[in-house]
Amino acid sequence: MLAALKVLITIALLGLLCSAAMHVAVLFGASPPSEFARTLQLGLILIFLPVAIITWKIRYTDGDWLQWEWTAVYRGSPWWLNGLCILLIVYIFFSTSSLQPLRYASALLMSLYCMGLSVFVSAYRQHWLLMGLRCPNGHCVSHVNRFCPECGACLPKSPAGA
């Protein structure tokens, strides 16, 4: 599992760097080849299918569909990477007013690759979240719980617990 996460981190980082290079080229008036942009768009499929699976494994261990706690997904990611994701998302809104659709597309690609990278780094640093957690009586529980919501049994401490 950790080897696969390393490969996904590498793909997301390369996608982020290539989309940043494409964005800089667009800012200076150059038009990147359409194959390059298409390859970056196809790379998002390689990124976001595992992102969806990892997010599903972390978030829906207890089966509670109404409880949304995204902090568990991004908790292990460094603060500067999460900050970069937020800055790139804000930057998308500034690039929508421009008349260059390629500028908007490259900014969107940068933010999506950065979000994928953040999820993969977080999952790599907190790989125990990808394993299902059960109470001593066998009930599925979330990683944010300290006690089983069904039977009240005390749960084992997570490796990063305080």
For residue range 94-147, list pLDDT tens digits in order.
877 666 788 888 899 999 999 999 999 999 998 877 776 778 888 877 666 778
Could you give the number of structural domains in the chain? 2
Does 160 have pLDDT greater than 70? no
Do 42 and 120 belong to one domain? Answer: yes
Q: Looking at the structure, tell me whether residues 127 and 151 fall in a common domain.
A: no
Shared-domain flag, residues 81 and 122? yes
Q: What is the pLDDT of residues 24-71, one digit of tens each?
A: 998 898 888 888 888 998 999 889 999 998 888 777 655 555 555 677
- Provide mean pLDDT across the span 88-92: 92
Tokens (6 digits) for 46: 């390689």
Residues 94 and 158 in one domain: no
Single-letter code of the amino acid located at 71: T
156 with 112, same domain: the answer is no
Higher per-residue confidence, 9 vs 152 = 9
61 and 32 in a common domain = yes
Model pLDDT, residue 111: 95
> Do 148 and 126 sit in the same domain of this protein?
no
Give residue 157's domain range.
133-162
Query: Residue 51 has what pLDDT?
Result: 92
In a shared domain, residues 155 and 125: no
Percent of the chain that is helix, strand, coil (3-state, to 5): 65, 5, 35
Confidence of residue 162 (pLDDT cuts 50, 70, 90): very low
For residue 5, give the nearest of 89, 84, 123, 90 by alpha carbon.
123
pLDDT on residue 148: 81
